[in-house]
Structures are given as structure tokens and as C-alpha cells.
Amino acid sequence: MELLSTNVCFEGEHRRYRHTSATLECDMEFAVYLPPVAVGSRPGKVPVLYWLSGLTCTDQNFMQKAGALKRAAQLGMAIVCPDTSPRGVNLPGEDDSYDFGSGAGFYINATEQPWAPHYRMYDYVVKELPQLIEDELPVSDKRSISGHSMGGHGALICALKNPGRYASVSAFAPIANPTECPWGQKAFKGYLGDNPRSWEEWDATLLIPTARERLPLLVDQGTADEFLDSQLNPDALADACEKFHHHINLRMHRGYDHSYFFIASFIDDHLDHHAKALGL
């Protein structure tokens, strides 16, 4: 890992790193916040919250806009923010639109060419990046996961597909039923092909019926979110959870939109939710 920058923040450290990803076959950058207990002359190992960001974001948006680091410092929790897609692999069309290609990896493993060799963000965030973090930094193998929009979708599927890997999961305004919305359909068709059956394993709503572990879901959604009706569909997720007795706390917040102002307003609730599950 190459250290790109470091900033002292609430007596802990915010760091940015670059490394060569074998999974994605390119260099990747990510951000880490280490709380005070994990820095200094005798650092202790701390649990990690993995945060998955949304369309067009990089590793930097959450760290700079969410206002999460003060509470993370108090709790003794590390936060890791990966990027949202491979970068600089020079595939045709990867920079043509905001909702496919660069900045839009959707946290799935592509099977279609030319995307398949690089666009494997699911394997990257579930396997490769945590292994690297746990090998190189003062963190434990106790993990939780959360995210926003496309990243909320990513957090939900990562937890649902990997029983025992995460202590808790939450999401802000997730793309809850991507097989039934324009964002998801465009991405899944491009990355996975024309057969909708191959899309189903990447849709949180469709994973609920057969989930082998039923971690409680904390989902926050703003009622003034411009994407609520056309793209996000939290009601489909809630209906599936009710039918299959999967606990969900879907909180609708009047007047809030899709922005980081919304995330910053409720991020402490999510950090506390994960801290409880992580034993902090």
C-alpha cells in the first residue's frame, strides 16, 4: 500500500492509500479513518465499518461530507471507504455516462466483455480489500457494512450473500430493487447480459426470501428524494422483509433529499447501530 496523504482528525487519522488490485487488474485508491485508539505508539486493533458510496462518488465523498468521524473516534471504530469502480482501465464507453462504467461499478461481478476482467467490485469489497486492510492496518476481522444509494444496494447484497461475515448492515436511500428500476436495469444488462435471471442474485429484495442469515436491516429514506419513486423502491424491500419475517427498520424522513445533507443528519444513528453489533 502506498500512503497518499494523512490528516489528524478528532485525535485519530484520516488516510488515503493506493494499491494494485489483483481482482480489478488496476490501481485503486481508498480512504481509511483510524480512531485514536488505533494510532500512536501502541495501537490497538479496532473493528471496521465498510462504507460503500453511490453513483459518481469516489473514496473521498463520505469522509469529507458525512460528518461521521467524530462519532467514529468516540466509539473506537475504523471506517473504510473504497472507490465506486475501477479507474483508468480504458474500456470503450466507460466514461460516457454517470450511471454506467466509471463511478458506477454497482458492487457486482461483471460477466460480459469488456467489463468482466475489471468490473468485479463485489469481490473487491467483500474479499480483497478487507484482507488487505486486516493484514496491513491495526484493525480486527469484526466488520459491519453500510452505504448510500448504489452503495446502499451494495451493502445490502454483501450482507445478504455472506452470512457470518458482517456483524450488522444499514443503508441510506438504497437502490433496493435494482432489477425493477432504470439504473439497475442499465447496469445489469451491460455488466451481466440480457438474461434477467442472471440479475436476480444481485438484487437485495430478491435475496430476502432465501437469506441464510437475517441481520436486522436499518434503512433511512428521505421523502423528498428525487429518486424515491423512479429508482429506489424501498417499499418492495420492506414488503419482502415482512413476508419472510426479516426484520427491517425502514425510517422515512419528511423533507429530506438524496444528498449528503441527509446522510450527515442521521449518520450517528447508523454508527451507533453498528457499534452495538460490533461490541463497542
pTM of the predicted model, to two decimals?
0.96
- So what's the architecture of 2-278 in CATH? 3-Layer(aba) Sandwich (3.40)
From 258, 270, 273, 274, active-site residue? 258
Please indicate whether residue 273 is annotated as part of the active site. no
Please indicate whether residue 265 is annotated as part of the active site. no
From 53, 85, 102, 149, active-site residue? 149
CA-nearest of 227, 178, 172, 173 to 205 is 178
Q: Where are the domains of the chain?
A: 2-278
* Tens of pLDDT, residue by residue, the chain (280 residues): 999 999 999 999 999 999 999 999 999 999 999 999 999 778 889 999 999 999 999 999 999 999 999 999 999 999 999 999 999 999 999 999 999 999 999 999 999 999 999 999 999 999 999 999 999 999 999 999 999 999 999 999 999 999 999 999 999 999 999 999 999 999 999 999 999 999 999 999 999 999 999 999 999 999 999 999 999 999 999 999 999 999 999 999 999 999 999 999 999 999 999 999 999 9
How far does the chain reach from its first CA to its final CA, in angstroms?
28
Assess contact for 256 and 227: CB atoms under 8 A. Answer: no
Phi and psi angles of residue 80, each rounded to the nearest 5 degrees, phi first: -120, 130
From 153, 225, 270, 274, active-site residue? 225
Residue 116, CB half-sphere, CA atoms under 13 Å: how many?
5
Please indicate whether residue 149 is annotated as part of the active site. yes
Assess contact for 159 and 169: CB atoms under 8 A. Answer: yes
